[in-house]
Amino acid sequence: MFKTEDYYQLPLSFEANQGQTDPKVKFLARVSGYNLFLTTQGAVLVLRELGFNRSEKTTPPAGQSETSVGISLADANSQPHVEGIEELPGKTNYFIGNDPTKWCTDIPTYAKVKYLDVYPGVDMVYYGNQGQLEWDFVLAPGADPMAITLEFQGIEQLKADDRGDMVLHTSGKEIYLCNPVVYQEIAGARREIHGAYVVKNHNRVGFQLGEYDTSRPLVIDPVLVYSTYLGGNLSDFGFDIAVDLFGNAYVTGVTTSPNFPIQNALQANYGGNGDAFITKIDPSGSTLIYSTYLGGTGDDEGLGITVDSSGNAYLTGSTDSTDFPITLFGLQPNLSGNADAFVTKIDPFGSTLIYSTYLGGSGTESGNSIAVDIFGNAYVTGDTDSLDFPTTLFALQTAIGGGDDAFVTKINAFGSALVYSTYLGGTGNDLGNGIAVDLFGNAYVTGRTDSTDFPTSLFALQPDFGGGLFDAFITKIDPFGFAFVYSTYLGGSLSDFGNAIAVDSSGNAYVTGGTESTDFPIQNALQPDLGGSRDAFVTKLDPFGFTLIYSTYLGGSSSDAANGIAVDLLGNAYVTGVTASENFPTRNPLQPTFGGNSFDAFVTKINALGTDLINSTYLGGSGSDDGQGIAADLLGNAYIIGGTNSPDFPTQNAMQLAPGGGGFNDAFVTKITGFPPV
């Protein structure tokens, strides 16, 4: 992967040379700021000065208008076959001068250019991806990756930075070769191989690889499958995401836009004062399968979403609308207080409310997270200050502890009855922020508490409040809601909060959030020390709640927090959140540097032992960007949702290329396929 400091709009298409330039050139790309010429011997990148003021009719001084950098392969095949692949529908025409015989018309364009057999068994492919020029080396079984050597002409200095990226210095410009991603396809999944650049001399770079299967093909480069804005002309924000077995993404959030993108909608019209939205996006990111408002005339927010194996979507959030869409014979047909939680189940086509109900007492509630088990029972957590929140007989806690309490509610598959419903809290304030459910119906809850008497279990990992404004908590409840399997604080002497939780097939819990504590509980950590004023944390707890399998800080020298977590079949954890750190830990990044303004989203994948970052990247533009929710599919693809006010948020194969306009925020939805299972 390649980028320059100043030239971001690199090519997405290549023209075949049919007489419009020097005959040595096979393919070319012309965009604002530079030209790219691909010859048999390699590539020539011509960077042009962009600061020239046309209104003053001046030009840059001689010798400063262009900078050329040559990119070739040392000791390679001098006459490789060069071909365009993936022809695009558009054609290019040159009508220059008044002699038609010199015009060049109907020139085909391609998404990629492939060099065959540059070394024995090695092909090289050039292509453009999200403002960056990229190239892949594709090695046949048995081919020697150590033979590959990149040679650069026209550079002044070549060195590696602290991220492992190669930096080319030339005429005051910096060109970056991002740390390579190396992988093999095995049984339909990508297995990452460790890869790094090696400087051979002042202008040559090779590769150093870890062990790999030499009997299989090898690829030396993560890729955005899609990344899109989602919003209308006012403010929109995405809070949570889920993915089904087929790779369809389900997202929810809040919109104040009367022209939010709608498709096959249950509710095509904006209710007013802020509505929840539910959107289902196909695996390519190019099509809305359905997209609908969900709300009444008051304020409505979609805060949590999940999906079952049949493609039914389950949604929770908050509403103060007396006319929120409720189904006949709903569990709770009327708004009970200032604001209630809601729980809604929608069929796979987005055409029917299977059930929809209020959930709350005479005070204020918010449903913050939702999970579903294999039988279609929905599990909801959130917060309530109602003395009469609906609880069930023999609930763990039938009375509010004080202030705000978390709640945990299990609703049957028909939405017709509470299986169990309980308060969860002490005499202070307690919020339930995340919930997950395992194969046996045990519910796992995390959040934050400032109660010194939060209910903990016998032999709890951390039985006492750590200090600060609040601690995180982790609670596991049995399938019937009768007992704690475990319940524990998680925190140090300053403020800590749990925002999200996931569970693997063995019953290990994965928790993430934020901490300001220098003494946060750490175990087998890839980052043992607090990096800044606040870091994200990622903690893996064994099924019995006795042992931290790992627990680590995750952050740079400023402020960081995680908002979402997912886990794949191999126990790798996927985390998203927000960072203001310019040195947030990255590895094999799609975006190696901080985008700007107050904060960027981040996306991080951690291996099952918690000992290594598999991938970690910034995700953001020149404004402020916030990662809120994350999901992972069976192939290790990561799906992220959040909010952005960046006009240049990274997009790829986007159904909405630009912000909706006029609003402070748009939602964004991103799928990354460069986070391969290992």
What is the reported pLDDT for 180?
A: 78
Residues 6+ apart with CB under 8 A from 33: 6, 7, 9, 47, 48, 50
Torsion angle (degrees, nearest 10) of CA 514, 519, 523, 528? 80
Q: 660-669, pLDDT tens digit by residue?
A: 766 578 999 9
The C-alpha angle with vertex 547 and arms to 632 and 569, in degrees rounded to 5, equals: 20
Q: Which residues on neighbouring strands pair with residue 436, listed in sequence order?
A: 444
Long-range contacts from 30-33, C-beta under 8 angstroms, 24+ separation = 33/6, 33/7, 33/9
> How far is it, in rounded angstroms, from Cα 12 to Cα 29?
9
pLDDT at residue 162, rounded to an integer: 65
Other beta carbons less than 10 A from residue 210's beta carbon: 10
**Parallel/antiparallel/unpaired status of strands 430-437 and 509-515:** unpaired
Say what the pLDDT of residue 29 is: 80
515 burial via Cβ count (<10 Å: 0-12, 13-18, 19+): buried
pLDDT confidence bin for 177, thresholds 50/70/90 = confident
| CB-based contact 475:444 (threshold 8 Å) | yes
Spacing of C-alpha 563 from chain mean position: 11
Complete DSSP assignment for 464-479: S--SSS-EEEEEEE-T
Q: What is the mean pLDDT of residues 182-190?
A: 73
- pLDDT band for position 95 (cuts 50, 70, 90): low
Q: What is the pLDDT of residue 51?
A: 37
486-525 pLDDT, tens digit each: 999 999 999 999 999 999 999 999 999 999 999 999 999 9
Of 581, 552, 579, 576, nearest in space to 563 by CA: 576
DSSP 8-state secondary structure symbol assigned to residue 178: P
In angstroms and rounded to an integer, the radius of gyration of the C-alpha atoms of the chain is 27
- Cβ-contact 82, 114 below 8 angstroms: yes
Q: Two tokens at 139?
A: 């090695």
Query: Do you know the residue count of the chain?
Result: 678
Assign domain 225-672 to its CATH architecture. Answer: 7 Propeller (2.130)
Half-sphere exposure of 170 (CA within 13 A, CB side): 25
Task: Please answer whether residues 540 and 573 qualify as being in contact, where contact means their C-beta atoms are separated by less than 8 angstroms.
Answer: yes
Q: How far apart are CA 343 and CA 291, in angstroms?
A: 18
Token pair, residue 647, equals 């006009």
pTM above 0.75, yes or no: no
Burial class of residue 79, CB neighbours in 10 A (0-12, 13-18, 19+): exposed
**Residues 11/128, Cβ–Cβ less than 8 Å:** yes
User: 594 and 625 in contact (C-beta within 8 Å)?
Assistant: no
Query: Hey, which residues does 577 pair with through a beta bridge?
Result: 562, 602
Phi and psi (nearest 5°) for 145?
-70, -20
Beta strand 443-449 pairing with 471-477: antiparallel
Residue 134 or residue 428, greater confidence: 428
Q: Would you state the structure tokens that stand for residue 360, as one six-digit string? A: 């709350």
DSSP characters over 289-326? EEEEEE--SS-EEEEEEEE-TT--EEEEEEE--TT---
Alpha helices (H) in 85-235, listed in sequence order: none
Lowest mean pLDDT among 105-119, 224-238, 383-397: 224-238
DSSP string, 407-419: EEEEE-TTSS-EE
Helix (H, G, I), strand (E, B) or coil at 146: helix
Q: What value does the mean pLDDT take over residues 364-382?
A: 98
Residue 225 pLDDT grade (very low, low, confident, very high; cuts 50, 70, 90): low
Give the residue-averaged pLDDT of 49-59: 33
Pairing of strands 625-632, 638-644: antiparallel
**Per-domain residue ranges of the chain:** 2-54+61-221, 225-672
141-153 pLDDT, tens digit each: 999 999 999 999 9
Is residue 306 within 8 A of residue 372, CB to CB? The reply is yes
Q: Which residues of 159-182 are buried (b: 16+ CB within 10 A; e: fewer)?
A: ebeebbbbbbebeebebbbbbbbb
- Report the DSSP beta bridge partners of residue 294: 276
> Distance between CA atoms of 94 and 90, rounded to whole angstroms?
14
Kindly state the average pLDDT of the residues 427-444.
Answer: 98
Distance CA 106, CA 229 (A): 33
